[in-house]
Each structure stands twice: as C-alpha cells, then as structure tokens.
Structure 1
Amino acid sequence: MEQLAPLIATAINAGTPLLLAALGLLINERSGVLNLGAEGMMLVAAVAGFMVGYQTQQPLLGFLAGAVAGMLMASLFSWLALVLATNQVATGLALSIFGTGLSAFMGQRFVGHAMPAQARSIPGLADIPFIGPAFFQQHWMVYFSLLLCFAIMWLLFRTRAGLTLRAIGESPESAHALGYPVRTIRFGALLFGGACCGLAGAYLSLVYTPMWVENLVAGRGWIALALTTFATWRPGRVLVGAWLFGGVTILQFYLQGIGVSVPSQFLSMLPYAATIVVLALISRNPAWIWLNMPASLGKPFRPGSA
C-alpha cells in the first residue's frame, strides 16, 4: 500500500495533460471538426508557457500564455478549415509539423533551464493515510482538469448550448437551416480546444517536467486524439482513459525502479503500444464507434451550399 499511493499519484499527474488536451479535442469533434494539430498546439503552448513562466517566475502567467498560444494556433486552423474549407486532416497534420518546428525555434534559448518546484498538497486532506498521498498531493491544475471534465459533461448533456453543439456535429446543414451560426459556434469550439491543448502543453513544461527541451510533448497530442475515440466522445470515459494511459506511462519508470530486466526501449514504447492495442480492440466493433461518432466529423461545411 505504501508503494501504491505514490504510483497512483504519479499516474494522475502523467494523465492530466492527456485529460486536458482530450477534453478540448472532444469539444472540437462534437462540433464536427477534426483537428489533428494537437501535437503542434501543445508544443507551441509548452514553450510559450515556459518562456513566460521562467522569465516572470509566475507559473499562473505561464499557464495563461500557454492557453493563449494554443488559441492562436487553433485560430490559424480555424481560418484554414472553416473559412477556406481546406481538408481538415491535411490542415491538422500541417499544423502539427508547423508547431514542432516553431516550438524548437522559439525555445532555443531556454533548453535545459528549469522551473522551481511548486506546492502540491491540500492542507489537512494530504495527511490522510493512503488517500492523501494518492489524491491530495497534486498540483492545482489536476483538480481544475477534474472540474473541467464534469463541467463539460453537464454542458453537453444538460444544457441547450450542449444540445446545439451536438446537433451541429450531427448535421450542420439542418442547424444552419434553423438559424444557428454553424461556423461561429465551430470557431468557438476550436478556440476552446486550443486553450485546453495550451493548458496541457504548459502543464508539461511548468509542472510535469518542469523544464523545456525540444519535442517535450513526445507524442502525447496523438495519444489525446486517440483517447477521444477510445472514450467514444464521452467526457467521463476520457477521464478514465487519461488516467489509465497515465498509469501505463508511469509503469515504465516503476518497472525500471524495481529492477525488472526489460530493455528500456520496450518500456518507452508502452504508452504507444497500449494506444494501438486499445484502438484495435475498439475497431473490432465498428458499430459502437459509428453510433457515438458525430456524423459530420471531418466534413467541411459551406453555408452558401447548404
């Protein structure tokens, strides 16, 4: 039990950036837009957040900078995909490639610099045996991500705004005919997704590492994209999946720590292998995906032709 509590805590810590990014991407996809640029958005946000946080020594400003950087990248995608109606898959891939190069260029002066450790405990609750070390010695962004998850659940399934968003994801033509501003709502959804990916990137560089190195995100943006499909576009399942993938990520370090004689290269590929296995299992029942996937996902919408 003494070893299990810190293992749970580190799994939650590792799963938090996946949760934040996947929640933002879920809102994107619920509106019918497929944005494959999560990796690039997270990288640019990670370096922007670290630059501001390191220079000001104010982590909160770093998180704000990361969110703004993610929104700017999402705005670029929005202009291309919504206004110019470019192919969403190709545009998202281009955004990831662009973000990878831009982040490497921006962060050259900050490679190897580190941020000081931040407080990670809730007074009183952190002292509870087992539960305290496992759940109440986390950074405040962990609890913010939980609140965000439950807020999105309430928004999507308990409010008129959520019903409108889901309706646009199912049939933008019908929503447009009823007078809803489809492109404006999709633009707002993309900005929200960009902000969430930005917070995820900033969390990696300000809390999880906390430092900047080139390609810091290391594929987590792609795992977050896969996570939305794994969760069948449900926020509660995204939460479970993010912590599960966080546990798989931490498992490699835990096995190395207890002296398991497994090649380090094999352990490093565990999170990505788990992603492939999960997607392969889901693909065995395609009807399950089709019943939950937004019908217009990835399809361009032109108001003039509706």
Structure 2
Amino acid sequence: MEFLTDINQLSDLLASTLRLSVPLIFAAIGGVIAERAGVYNISLEGCILGGCFGAALGTYMTGSPVFGIFAALLCAGSAGVLLSVLGVSLGVNQIVAGIAINILVLGLTSFLARLVFGLDATTMTLPGFEPIAIPLLSDIPIIGPVLFSQDVLVYLMYVTVPVAWWVMYRTPWGLNIRSIGEYPRAADTAGINVINVRYLAVIASCMLAGLGGAYIVLSQVFVFTEHMSAGKGFIALAALILGRWNPMGAFFAALFFGLCDAMQLRLQFSSPDVPYQLFSMVPYMASILALVLLSGKVRPPADIGNKFVRGGK
C-alpha cells in the first residue's frame, strides 16, 4: 500500500485506472442509451471487439488512426443494426440475440484477421494517438498528468459523459428515449416513433462501445489480437446496472472497475509467487459482488426486453 504515501506511485495508479476505465465508460454509456430505450444490449462485448478490429483494419489499410476510428464506428454500428433487426423488428429474445452477436463477432473477427493480417491474426505495431498535454492544467500535482496529458479519445470521453447525461435528462430526445423504455404505448400515442427511436438508440449504443474498442487499439496497445476485448463488455454491463442506468452513475461505476483492474495488475507485479490468474479475477469478482449487493435495489426500465407492436396489447 506504499502508493498511498508515494506521490509518483499514486499518480501511476490513477493513470492506470483511467486508462483501463475508458473502454468500459464508452461501452457502459452506450449500454445506458440502448437499455433506457427498452432494448437489452448484451452485445457490448462484441461491439468492443468489432471496434478493435475496425480500428486496426482502418489504420492498417490507410496508415491513419482517424480512418481507424471511422472503421471502428462502422463495424460496431453494423452490429447495432443487426441487433435492432433481430430484437426490435423481429422480436427475437434480445438477450439471446446479443449473445449470438457476441459469438458471431468473435468468429468473424478471428477469420478476417487471419485473412488480412496473416495466420497469427495479429498486426504489427499500428500508428495511434499520442498524448496531448493541456498547458497549465497538466502541471497540477498528481491529477494534472493523469487527467490533462491524454490522447484525443480520452478527451472525447470527457465530453461524451456529460453530454450523454444532458441529452438523457434535459432534452426532448432524452425524454423520448426514457419514455419508450418505460411505457412505449403512451409514447406512441404522443406521436413518438418507437421503432425508429429504438433503432437509433441501439446503433448509437453499439457505436459508443466501438469507440471503446478503438481506444484499446489506437491508444493502449497499438496492435490487434484475437479476443482482445477480454470480457470488458460484460463488465460494462455490470457498470451500467451498478450506475442505475444513469450516464453519470455508469461513469463512476466504470471507474471503480477500472481501479479494481489497475489494482490487480499492481498486485501481480508485487506478488510474483502468487498465480496471476487469482489476481486477474479481481475485476470480475468485484462486478459480481457489486451486483449481488444491489440485488433487488435497482429497477431497470419497465418495458426493457419487450417487442413493441403498434396497436397490440
């Protein structure tokens, strides 16, 4: 626990926490949007992985990480379209549809990675986004380097969280989303196109999760490997539930899970004699424990998971 008295170690821990939280935050905010609109988005894991592959492919083909971002959004958005068709239009069980998309993306990215990047399905080091220090703010002790010496995707996350909250609770669009998640028939009576809003919410949800995947490739590791989402989409699901389907709550819950992940990495290095698998379980155990403690204390949107049929009962 020496990091509590060592400023440099504390700063490193906070920086690791933020870095590991960013993919979770993007995915959790996306999950909030879809589920507030009444659609379970279990496919967040597949969307993150699709964003990883899209970012790697776009950057590999063009040499520009900016094009990688667009490719990540396209890949993850395609998963959102598929989930919308299955869960919103066809009425397929949304949880089953989300799991199927996760499996589809897992297999498809592995196949395409071998086809494009070679038999080991791994890229060489890709160009990515470098940290940009904000003058004066980055000089603040401890938190300055952590918060204000980051790349453009982290700064985009800073903007995304409050904007998502503002849209959800301070705009007619957010009111439409929340109303169709709670009582879609009343929303339909008020003239809101429930199907269209759900489509847009799900696609936006998946694209945000895809940004989380793009961050992993273009800001963290600068390579693509198979299965590199590594369960982050499922932790993001826990974060949005722990955050009570509120963008700000999901943000802080994702930070908590990021802190757990940073702590387990530190424990691995400080205790090499202990099997690292024990420490790797920490973020997942924390998510399970948090959900158990909140069991019965949180209420999802009332109409989540149900197919809307206009004029039906």
TM-score by length of 2: 0.92
Structure 2 counterpart of 1:180: 192
For residues 144 and 249 of structure 1, the distance between their equivalents in structure 2, rounded to whole angstroms, comes to: 22
Moved over 4 A (4+): none
Deviations 1:90-116 (A, max 9, x none): 111111111110111111225142224
Matched, 1:115 2:126: yes
8 Å CA contact retained: 2:65, 2:128: no
Letter in 2 for 1:121: I
Q: How many residues align?
A: 301
Identity of paired residues, percent? 34
Please give the alpha-carbon distance, in whole angstroms, between the structure 1 residues aligned to 2:59 and 2:139: 30
Assess if the C-alpha contact under 8 Å between 1:63 and 1:202 holds in 2. Answer: yes
Alignment of 1:139-158 (within 5 A): 139-158=151-170
> What is residue 289 of structure 1 aligned with on the other side?
298
Shift of the 5–167 alpha-carbon distance from structure 1 to 2, 3 Å rule, reads same
RMSD (Å), alpha carbons: 1.5
- What code does the residue aligned with 1:135 have? L
Q: Which amino acid aligns with 1:113?
A: M
Q: Which residue of 2 aligns with 1:16?
A: 22
TM-score (norm 1): 0.94
In terms of mean alpha carbon deviation, does 296-305 or 225-234 score higher? 296-305
**2:133 maps to 1:133:** no
For 2:80 and 2:141, the matched residues in 1 are separated by: 43
Question: Does 2:80 match 1:74?
Answer: yes
Q: What SS does the aligned partner of 1:2 have?
A: helix
Contact map agreement 1:70 1:198 (CA 8 A) in 2: yes
Q: Is the 8 A contact 1:29 1:294 kept in 2?
A: yes
* Alignment partner, residue 303 of structure 1: 310
Provide structure 1 residue ranges, at least 5 long, that are not aligned to the other structure. Answer: none
Q: CA deviation at 1:259?
A: 3.8
Q: Does the 8 A contact of 2:51 with 2:210 survive in 1?
A: yes
Q: Which runs of 5+ in 2 are unaligned?
A: 1-6
Kept in 2, the 8 Å contact 1:44–1:102? The answer is no
Q: CA deviation at 1:261?
A: 4.2
CA-CA distance at 1:117 after TM superposition: 5.5
* Partner Cα separation in structure 1 for residue 164 and residue 210 of structure 2: 17
CA deviation vs aligned residue, 1:215-241 (integer Å, no higher than 9, x gap): 000000111111111111111111111
